[in-house]
Amino acid sequence: MKTKGEHIEFWIEQAEDDWKAVFSLFKGRNYLQSLFFTHLVIEKLCKSLWIKHNSENVPPRSHNLIYLLSATPIILTDDQNEFLLKLNRFQLEGRYPEYISAMHGICNEQFADSMINSSNEIRLWLLEKLL
């Protein structure tokens, strides 16, 4: 049976693997997919934090970043909260055909680059909270 620390490390390692995929997808001009993976990275770090601050070692089956963090002592600034709401869109809209075509119009190189850079700030901040 895995320890709490091993569960946390599993999610962190998965996030690191997905972070590499973000850049492969971005370089391949797959901007929507790169943002879907960007969301996955942040989601997995939120799940690590959820495990750290809860008695169970299995986080909720939710993709909602704010919901996951709501069960931790992590306090988001208004800007962070707003950004995570925006990032949450890519877990849903990156999955379903009715959203994908609409999102392709928004997800150009400049938009994706900006979202990835802002996500990296959140990613590093969340990693600090895991120490």
pLDDT tens-digit map of 42-67: 999 999 999 999 999 999 999 999 99
Tokens of 87: 């990032």
- Mark 69-98 as b/e (b = at least 16 C-beta within 10 Å): beebebebeeebeebbeebbebbebbeeee
Q: How many domains does the chain have?
A: 1
The DSSP code for 28 is T
pLDDT tens-digit map of 55-104: 999 999 999 999 999 999 999 999 999 999 999 988 865 566 777 777 87
**CATH assignment of the domain containing 95:** 1.20.120.330
Residues of the domain holding 85? 4-129
Is the overall model pTM greater than 0.85, yes or no? yes
